[in-house]
Amino acid sequence: MINLVKCSSKNAEAKFIGEREEELGKISASARRFFKGEYLQTAFVPEEDKILLLVGTGKKKRESVHLKELGAAAAKAFLDAGIYDFSLDVSGILKEYGLNALGHVTEGAVLGTYKQKQFKKAEDKEYHIEISGVSEKDYQEAEKILKDTLVVAEGIWFARDMVNLPGNRLRPSDFAEQILEFVKDTDIEAEVLDREKLKEKGFEALLGVGDSSEFPPCLTVLRYKGDPENEKITALVGKGVTCDTGGYCLKPADSMLGIKGDMAGGAAVAGAIYALAKNQVKVNAVAVIPMCENRISDGSLLPGDVIGSYSGKIIEIANTDAEGRLILADAVSYAVREEKAAEVLDIATLTGAVVNMFGFTVAGIVSDSDEMFKRFRQGYTCAGERYWRIPFYEEHEKMIESKIADVRNMSSGGCGTVTAGLFIREFAEKKPWIHLDIAGTAWVNEPIFAFQSAGATGAGVSSIYRFLCEK
């Protein structure tokens, strides 16, 4: 539990101190002997009436991602010391960075306390954090920022929980049920299209992938109308492959442990639309999440196959491990045609190529709308996530042309991230479109940032939320 207070009641408190002399002068001479204020340095300093934790902010000006790290470093230091009731004095940070920094520090503190669900007996201890150091004149606005931040953090936690679940604990129908339970107390209208409905409506691409498993595919639709006077609807389409073996283009053995997390895009849009609804953001959004497994069976797709799609376009299958774009194609078409989306954002753990380009801290963007990208850039900058827009040209579009069908699901000439995005664009029906490839950022084996833990990161939730708040 986290709450804002005017005066902390805790006997354990964190203060954020930089390397500059004027800041170090605020602590005792004995503390200065071992605490230098270096970025993310932590040190406990016993005082007569309380336990004081010093957290170093360094010398240079920090971005939002670093402010999140500071909050996480403080929370982790207390929990590692077995202290579960503590306060964070943010007065110094707010003085330097402004009131919005409160959200970054708080989000970092919450995310820094995240732990994966255990399937063995383990005791979860509750913690209570007080946030102090907000001026009287800013207090009311700070309460709003804190409420907003905590809801977004809930969405990120949910996304992490889903991605971290083993594949045998999260079949497509399980994923749908988890989402419905998560959003049940919001103004979201939820619908799940089962296999029969998908067949009836012509989701040939989704069924082409999903029918490879004994666990049938489904499509989860979440509708939030926060601005009923406005007709504009933004579609959030997230890949929900709960198990991806690669099909007959089987993944190598060392890649198999990660196949459970191929639904991180679906988890992200669920977390984001939850936060929009919970915070009653004045916007209209629909989340469309195609859910399935990609396995090997008698009826599985084969390279060289030709299949239909919800849009009516015929697809040549060049690689069965390029299944995510197939199910997203049907979902994007549905979002535009049935949900009347005016613009489309899709998000997926889609290509290894994006990891080769950017590693594990930057996600890729492909978009045909400068205006949409500008808004999303504002969103991810505020969220403290990192993305980079990748250009595309006519020659890239030609790389997915097929001699026997309308489009080919994989390029033969490289440019994997770009051509994967452009394949999805084929089904957006000329609506403004932005594609996020989070294959590198959705998961970390070892934390890169202080607010991460080993496993799922919840990538995309905060950026998508902030993107729609910019409207």
Q: Considering the entire predicted model, what is its pTM?
A: 0.96
Distances in Å between the Cα of 212 and the Cα atoms of 193, 260, 450 are 18, 16, 40
Distances in Å between the Cα of 58 and the Cα atoms of 13, 42, 93, 345, 455 are 19, 11, 12, 37, 28
Cα–Cα distance for residue pair 381/316, rounded to 1 Å: 38
Contact criterion met (CB below 8 Å) for 62 and 108: no
Lowest mean pLDDT: which of 5-9, 169-173, 184-188, 440-444? Answer: 5-9
| 348, β-bridge pairs | 437
Beta strands in 140-187 (DSSP E): none
| Number of Cβ atoms within 10 Å of the Cβ of 185 | 10
Lowest mean pLDDT: which of 138-147, 349-358, 361-370, 462-471? Answer: 462-471
3-class state of residue 290 by DSSP: strand
Closest CA to 74 of 17, 22, 116: 17
Count of alpha carbons within 13 Å of 123, Cβ hemisphere only?
2
Whose tokens are 């934390």? That residue is 447
Confidence of residue 170 (pLDDT cuts 50, 70, 90): very high
Closest CA to 437 of 382, 371, 367: 367
Q: Which residues are catalytic?
A: 251, 325
Closest CA to 384 of 455, 432, 433, 448: 448
Is residue 123's pLDDT more than 70? no
| Number of Cβ atoms within 10 Å of the Cβ of 123 | 5
Count of alpha carbons within 13 Å of 3, Cβ hemisphere only?
9
What does the pLDDT look like over 367-418, one tens digit per residue?
Answer: 999 999 999 999 999 999 999 999 999 999 999 999 999 999 999 888 999 9
The domains located in the chain, with CATH, are 2-113 (3.40.220.10), 151-469 (3.40.630.10)
3-class state of residue 306 by DSSP: strand
Confidence of residue 121 (pLDDT cuts 50, 70, 90): low
What does the pLDDT look like over 241-288, one tens digit per residue?
Answer: 999 999 999 998 878 878 899 999 999 999 999 999 999 999 999 999
